Structure 1
Amino acid sequence: MDYKAYFQENRDKHLNELKEWLSIPSISALSEHKPDVKKAAEWLAGKMTQAGLENVKIHETKGHPIVYADYMHAEGKPTVLVYGHYDVQPVDPLNLWQTPPFEPDIRDGKLFARGATDDKGQLFLHIKAVEAILSQEKQLPVNIKFCIEGEEEVSSPNLPGFMDANQDLLKADVVLISDTSLLEKGRPAICVGLRGLCSLEVALHTANTDLHSGSYGGGVPNALHAMVSLLNSLHDENGRVSVEGFYKGVIELTPEDHEEFKKQSIDENKLKADLGLDELFGEEGFTFAERTGARPTLELNGVYGGFQGEGSKTVIPKEAHAKITCRLVGHQDPQDILDKIEKHINSHVPTGARVTVVQMEKGNPFTIDPSTPILQKAAEAYEHVYGTRPVFTRDGGSIPIVETFSRVLEAPVVCMGFGLPDENLHAPNEHFNLENFDQGLLTIVDFLKRV
């Protein structure tokens, strides 16, 4: 079958359909958009039915709906479960968008809209790939299921419970996800590692009121001084986290791992220039790619307290606050890490201060062996379409639900992304390069046939 000709013939129709979906402001984080999220789920269910999928159902949750569909007529063949999400990020700041975020616009070979690359555009490829095969061949080479949620951008609070309650419904031989990116234009990548995540907030208090620095300065504890001292204890001078036991479960990189990271060919001098930095910084003994893909971190995301207004105010603040997140790798357990950080903080409280710690998000890291046969099938599909074999990467970000799928369904997860790193996901002017829209369709068809 000439799928290249099929997709070219139907390209305008497909892009117009995608534009319809992208026009729905399915922002899961904002309650006023709850009807829009439901509308986006209904749109998706309708297109799944039109594509020829069966058992299409919108499952209500305590939050936003999960859409399920399948086509189970390939007796004796593997079952592929496609996961994705139809919710999108908020659009602020709106004034930085060149065109309105929910009025999709094609220019310079790119489709601009919120959700274009994360994740409606990439998910749409799977629906159209299945529709194409059924249209051309009247049957699929594999059994296929879809589990599409509307809460990924708010940390998937209801999907794990849905998975636990519907393990038989979701049972599959492989989970297929397109929510990652190529290494760069023309250089595909398969993600074999995602860092986990945990977060906490720290509040530090001293006196029961702000104090005049002339009357009390030098004689009472200063909450900002105390917070700076406390936070400084979390790292050593070489960028290594000083929390006792923090690195338990971290898998050390092998010589083969180092070689795989070299294949990403990251130019650190160019990176510094692009970011306006004199130097990069991080844990000694590792490259930028290794630090951001295979090593854990503890980062300060916000530190605040005292006078913030214009001009000067001679005050000794009574309180200070900090927001902290960690990216985790290997077998690090987020709850264990949070407990260890809290213990460290409580044992390093400066004189005259009181500290409160609130533990927040938790997500496990994900890794898979690149030699896993199904990943090699994915690599062959990329190579056939793009003309070059993909690099196996470990991404610095976190998609906690990937590890959940792998663990609960006991199935390998294939992260076949078709975005690009510079497509402004989560930022103004998000877009999807249509070159990868075209090649993504062909790659997915090729992959399903190889499976």
Structure 2
Amino acid sequence: MSDVERVLQQVDDELPKALERLFELLSIDSISTDPAYKDSCVKAADWLVEDLRSIGFETQRHATPGHPMVVGHQTGANDKGPHLLFYGHYDVQPVDPLELWNKPPFEPAIEDTEKGQVIRARGAADDKGQLMTFVEACRAWKQVTGSLPTQVSLFFEGEEESGSPSLIPFMEANKSMLTADLALVCDTGMWDSETPTISTMLRGMVGEEITITGPSLDLHSGMYGGPAINPIRVLTRILSDLHDDEGRITLPGFYEGVPEITAELREQWASLSQDGNEFLESVGLSTPAGEKDFSVLEQIWARPTCDVNGISGGYTGAGFKTVLPSKAMAKVSFRLVGDQDPVKIQQSLYDFIEARLPPDCTATYLTKDGSKATVMPVDAPAFRQAHKALSDEWQKEAVYAGCGGSIPVVGHIKQILGMDSLLIGFMLDDDAIHSPNEKYSLNSYHKGIRSWVRILDALSQDEAAT
């Protein structure tokens, strides 16, 4: 048997013990958003420190103004192989509403379902189960061969579910400790329960809270309706102008930097046979409302968007109050792709609004931090090797997928540490992350460990990955 085959056998034989360790971590209620759980977050960090030390990682808990970071390092058998940095987070979402859980959220257990056995607990999928797939892969390599196949560093934070306020300062202050050749991030999912996935595109974002002010106070519509400008009328007209009848966004220069979808990607995504109508029907809709000539999947993964996320103004309580409001407000967000520039789009939005303001109206803005989209170099050797390793393990060709949302740490890794990230995860769409009764497929956990075993081996043999 080759080393990889022996390590994979070790993973299979030791799965019960790997589950015991995961259950220990899942039983710690490390909710980062609630100060009442501060000690639990420290407890989870300390648990990881001790566990990593037990398999040879030089590991430290690092204090931050919030919850601690955990960083560990270990050399590998191939000193010419790439240095890999694996990122994960040990904090979890709150469990409210508690009454909707079928069992206590921090008492993990294996449950039988129609789709197979699952691990049921808060954090099972997001992100403790995912994090531990990599740790267990490292453990199996050490147990069988006495070393890792290449140099590995681990970076675990405890504030991902609360906005990561300490992340950027910590990364900037510890560049030399965190910089490697390639980052590995396991906070994503699979296309389906049988199809492994490498996420290669993350959309960026621009967010604005827009307030239109007209009269100096709310006015009686019987006395002022007609001659007095109504900020709601102004705001809704501006918002309606942001899209044309074909679903395209009308901001000047908005599509600068938006790449064409390659024929290869279109073909691969089409092979996934996503039913766009079924996707919408599952949430009570029937007709795609985005850009014409793009499939639903293409709209989500590879096209930019503009959405009104909230709107308010005037009287919204019970009954009627015939008032012309002094102010009207909307929250608008843009999802970005390719090389779209958040700063340019923000300025284009300001110019767009100002050009449509009538006399006696002003606009003010409250900005949400913007970020560029992230596009991974799928032609790089590391991505090709990981693709093959995943395909070998799952006996089904891995998919290069886009991601409709954003994973901020990936952008920070690129901007601060100058590294690309390989995004591989094993969550499923129905894992109920952030919701009651969160789960993680036992198969995802088991084959996730096996997948990382193969990926570590593949990357260690590819010096070009550096």
1:52-67 alignment, distance < 5 Å: 52-54=56-58, 56-67=59-70
- Paired with 1:64 and 1:442, the residues of 2 have a C-alpha distance of 31
- Paired with 2:110 and 2:234, the residues of 1 have a C-alpha distance of 52
Residue 341 of structure 1 pairs with residue 356 of structure 2 = no
- Indicate the residue corresponding to 2:257 in structure 1: 249
State whether residues 424 and 431 of structure 1, in contact with CA within 8 Å, keep that contact through their aligned partners in structure 2: yes
How far off is 1:331 after superposition?
1.0
- Indicate the residue corresponding to 1:6 in structure 2: 10
State whether residues 51 and 127 of structure 1, in contact with CA within 8 Å, keep that contact through their aligned partners in structure 2: no
CA offsets 1:33-88 (integer angstroms, 9 cap, x no match): 3333222212221221123212x111222332211001114323321110111122
How far off is 1:347 after superposition?
2.4
CA offsets 1:144-174 (integer angstroms, 9 cap, x no match): 1011112223343332333333232223222
Matched letter for residue 331 of structure 1:
D
- Indicate the residue corresponding to 1:38 in structure 2: 42
TM-score by length of structure 2 reads: 0.91
How far off is 1:361 after superposition?
2.1
- Paired with 1:278 and 1:350, the residues of 2 have a C-alpha distance of 37
Residue 103 of structure 1 pairs with residue 107 of structure 2 = yes
Matched letter for residue 453 of structure 2:
V
- Paired with 1:315 and 1:266, the residues of 2 have a C-alpha distance of 48
Residue 371 of structure 1 pairs with residue 379 of structure 2 = yes
Provide the secondary structure at the position in 1 that maps to 2:71: strand
Matched letter for residue 401 of structure 1:
V
1:345-360 alignment, distance < 5 Å: 345-360=353-368
1:265-344 alignment, distance < 5 Å: 265-344=273-352
Matched letter for residue 299 of structure 1:
D
- Paired with 1:26 and 1:346, the residues of 2 have a C-alpha distance of 46
State whether residues 305 and 319 of structure 1, in contact with CA within 8 Å, keep that contact through their aligned partners in structure 2: yes
Residue 427 of structure 1 pairs with residue 431 of structure 2 = no
How far off is 1:249 after superposition?
1.5
Give the counterpart of 2:268 among 260, 268, 281: 260
How far off is 1:402 after superposition?
0.9
- Paired with 2:138 and 2:105, the residues of 1 have a C-alpha distance of 28
- Indicate the residue corresponding to 2:201 in structure 1: 193
- Paired with 1:39 and 1:51, the residues of 2 have a C-alpha distance of 19
Worse-superposed segment, 382-391 or 315-324: 315-324
State whether residues 99 and 105 of structure 1, in contact with CA within 8 Å, keep that contact through their aligned partners in structure 2: no
- Indicate the residue corresponding to 2:150 in structure 1: 142
- Paired with 2:336 and 2:42, the residues of 1 have a C-alpha distance of 33
Matched letter for residue 333 of structure 1:
D
- Paired with 1:370 and 1:21, the residues of 2 have a C-alpha distance of 34
Residue 77 of structure 1 pairs with residue 85 of structure 2 = no
State whether residues 306 and 317 of structure 1, in contact with CA within 8 Å, keep that contact through their aligned partners in structure 2: yes
How far off is 1:121 after superposition?
0.9
Give the counterpart of 1:114 among 113, 122, 127: 122
- Paired with 1:135 and 1:433, the residues of 2 have a C-alpha distance of 25
State whether residues 233 and 348 of structure 1, in contact with CA within 8 Å, keep that contact through their aligned partners in structure 2: no
Give the counterpart of 1:400 among 389, 402, 408: 408
Give 5+ residue unaligned stretches, structure 1. none
- Paired with 1:121 and 1:50, the residues of 2 have a C-alpha distance of 19
- Paired with 1:91 and 1:208, the residues of 2 have a C-alpha distance of 44
How far off is 1:311 after superposition?
2.6
State whether residues 208 and 331 of structure 2, in contact with CA within 8 Å, keep that contact through their aligned partners in structure 1: yes
- Indicate the residue corresponding to 2:463 in structure 1: none
Matched letter for residue 360 of structure 2:
G
State whether residues 221 and 323 of structure 2, in contact with CA within 8 Å, keep that contact through their aligned partners in structure 1: yes
CA offsets 1:236-272 (integer angstroms, 9 cap, x no match): 2222111111112211223223223213321112213
Worse-superposed segment, 70-79 or 177-186: 70-79
CA offsets 1:274-300 (integer angstroms, 9 cap, x no match): 222121210122111111111111111
Provide the secondary structure at the position in 2 that maps to 1:357: strand
1:431-446 alignment, distance < 5 Å: 431-446=439-454
State whether residues 199 and 324 of structure 1, in contact with CA within 8 Å, keep that contact through their aligned partners in structure 2: yes
Root mean square deviation, CA, Å: 1.9
Provide the secondary structure at the position in 1 that maps to 2:176: helix
- Indicate the residue corresponding to 2:244 in structure 1: 236
Matched letter for residue 414 of structure 1:
L
Cα gap change, 1:219 to 1:102, in 2 (>3 Å): farther
Provide the secondary structure at the position in 2 that maps to 1:26: coil
State whether residues 118 and 440 of structure 2, in contact with CA within 8 Å, keep that contact through their aligned partners in structure 1: yes
How far off is 1:4 after superposition?
4.4
- Paired with 1:96 and 1:314, the residues of 2 have a C-alpha distance of 41
Provide the secondary structure at the position in 2 that maps to 1:278: coil
Give 5+ residue unaligned stretches, structure 2. 460-466
- Paired with 1:336 and 1:102, the residues of 2 have a C-alpha distance of 46
Worse-superposed segment, 158-167 or 429-438: 158-167
State whether residues 418 and 437 of structure 1, in contact with CA within 8 Å, keep that contact through their aligned partners in structure 2: yes
Provide the secondary structure at the position in 1 that maps to 2:210: strand
- Paired with 2:76 and 2:287, the residues of 1 have a C-alpha distance of 57
Matched letter for residue 66 of structure 1:
M
- Indicate the residue corresponding to 2:29 in structure 1: 25
CA offsets 1:340-392 (integer angstroms, 9 cap, x no match): 22232222224432221011122221112322111111111111211011011
Worse-superposed segment, 391-400 or 5-14: 5-14
